[in-house]
Amino acid sequence: MNTELVPVFRGNGVLEVVERQPPQLVADDDVIVRVEACGICGTDLNILAVPPAHKAPPGIVIGHEGVGIVASVGSAVTSVQPGDRVVIANRLTCGKCAYCRRGLDNQCTNYQTIGTTIDGAFAPTLRAPARALWKIDPSVPRDDAALFEPLSCAVGAVKRAPFQPGDNVAIIGAGPMGLLFALLYRSMGAGKVILLDVAPYRLAFAQEIGMDAALNVTQVDAPTEVKRLTGLGADIVVDAVGNQINHTIQLARRGGQVILFGLRPHDNPPVNQYTITRYDLTLHGAFVGLHPFAQTIQLLESRRVQPSILVTHRLPLKELQHGVELMRTQQAMKVLIEM
C-alpha cells in the first residue's frame, strides 16, 4: 500500500513529518476524503504557539479548514458518495448533553474537533464521520470552498444581531475573520463597512479589496472618525479580536448592537457598563456558529461571497511551518496548504 507523509504535532510548537499508512474506513459512518487544500487558521497558530494558546494533544494531525473529494464511504453513509466535493464542519457534537438537547450544539459539553482533538486535514487523506462533511457544488472554486469553516463562523455570528440593509458596520480586527465579516456584511447590503486595526498590512489589504474605510487606531481617534464617516456611529460593531469590548461600545451609535466574536481567554478588560446602559446598546456574545452550515454552503454556491480574495499564499504541505510563520508575522492574510 502507498504511504503518505504527514506533519504530526508533537507539542511545544513542533511539527514532525511522519510516514504513515493513509487512514482507512473503520466505523460504518466513516468517510475517506482525498484532501485538496486546507487553510491555516488562527487556531492552528495558537496550537503551534510556545507556550500553546489552544490545547491539542501531541500526536495529532492538525488542520480543519479543508476541502476535498470523497474517495470511499462506510456502509451506513447516505449523505455523500465517492466523487463528491466536500468541506468540513469540524466540531463533532455529542447530540446527548443538556445543551445539544436544547438545540445549542455550539455549547456541547462533550464535543470533539477535527484538527484539534482528532486527526485533521493537513494530510493527503482524511477520515471523518459523514456528519462532519458537507457536500458543495464543484462549480465553487476550491479556494472559496476552503474558507467554508471560518465563513460559517461569521454567518453564525451575524445572525445574532438583527440587521437592516443599509446598516453601517464597524469591524475591529482586519485579519481573515474580520475581513470575512466585512465581505459578508457587504453582500448583505450594508451601508458603510469600516475596518479598524493596528497593522498597516491588514489595513492596506482591506482597502485594496474595496472596503469603505480602513482606520489605523494608532493614528486616528477611532470613535471620532467612525462618527464622521457614519453620522451617528456604527449601527453594528464587531469585535473580531476578543478584547475590544470597550472600543466597540465607543464606536456604536445610541441603540446600536455589538457582536463579541473574538476569543482571548486570558484577557479580561474592564467594562464601561454606564455607556452600555445609558446609550441602550445590545451586546451579543457569539461563539462559533449555531447551525450555520447549510446557509454557508448556499452562500458559497451563490458566489455572492468569494472568500478566496483573502488567500495570499498557496504552499505545499511540506511548507506548513513556513505558512504558519507567514501568518504569524502578518506577511500573509490567508495561507492555503495544497495537497
**Contact residues for Zn ion (CB under 5 A)?**
41, 65, 93-94, 97, 100, 108, 110, 150
Cβ-based nearer residue to Zn ion, 110 or 302: 110
Min dist CB 150 to Zn ion, Å, is 5
Cβ-based nearer residue to Zn ion, 130 or 249: 130
CA 29-62-303 angle, to 5 degrees, is 75
Cβ-based nearer residue to Zn ion, 100 or 157: 100
Nearest alpha-carbon partner for 311 in 241, 209, 231: 209
78 phi and psi, to 5 degrees? -120, -15
Min dist CB 97 to Zn ion, Å, is 3
Cβ-based nearer residue to Zn ion, 171 or 213: 171
Encode 305-316 in three state secondary structure: CCHHHHEEEEEE
Cβ-based nearer residue to Zn ion, 90 or 250: 90
β-sheet bridge partners, residue 140 = none
CA distance 121 to 128: 10
Instruction: Decide: 256 and 237 in contact? Cβ < 8 Å.
Output: yes
Min dist CB 277 to Zn ion, Å, is 35
Min dist CB 118 to Zn ion, Å, is 15
Min dist CB 274 to Zn ion, Å, is 36
Instruction: Decide: 336 and 314 in contact? Cβ < 8 Å.
Output: yes
DSSP label at 22? P
DSSP label at 147? T
